[in-house]
Chains A and B, each alone.
Chain A
Amino acid sequence: AQSVTQPDIHITVSEGASLELRCNYSYGATPYLFWYVQSPGQGLQLLLKYFSGDTLVQGIKGFEAEFKRSQSSFNLRKPSVHWSDAAEYFCAVGGKGGGNKLTFGTGTQLKVEL
């Protein structure tokens, strides 16, 4: 069965500081990995995705993520956080073995201090 772990429920960073949100996955086949962001009361917006190829992927809003197969990780990073980045971030895994199904982590709530 596929699963995603986001070990940090809440993270607080100062504006302008760097950010790393952790994501570990379990998947029996080649994983497809996603990061979504959700602002309060809103739907999910795709930040970036990894299907194959270069393990460092760039996304919107200055975010990037690195796929590390040996560590089963897909951590999200941003070099300098803006106050508008405060939101909840979800990592998700899918893939050929699971058909259409995405499995989400429980999310990391990001707070940005001014």
Chain B
Amino acid sequence: DAGVTQSPTHLIKTRGQHVTLRCSPISGHKSVSWYQQALGQGPQFIFQYYEEEERQRGNFPDRFSARQFPNYSSELNVNALLLGDSALYLCASSVREPFANTGELFFGEGSRLTVL
């Protein structure tokens, strides 16, 4: 079975540009979460979606937005890129939410964004 897939794997942008990152969850998983992992840091929560609805938002500026589609895939959009947005962006899926009964997120390998 395919795991969580993310695209692109690597990309380079310049300050002020916009970026769209894509994620396909594991088949049957209805919840998608996005995390930002800066160099030398642990993943930091950005968004969680369940059945196309935003369920939780982390402490990120409004330049960050996301959406989930009827097939449960998801996009993360970042506008007006800053140098500090350079990071590995991780997508994770889960069968259901809340996670209390399973507690497991399945992560993709991430999209590494470099902002110059």
Q: Does A pair with B?
A: no
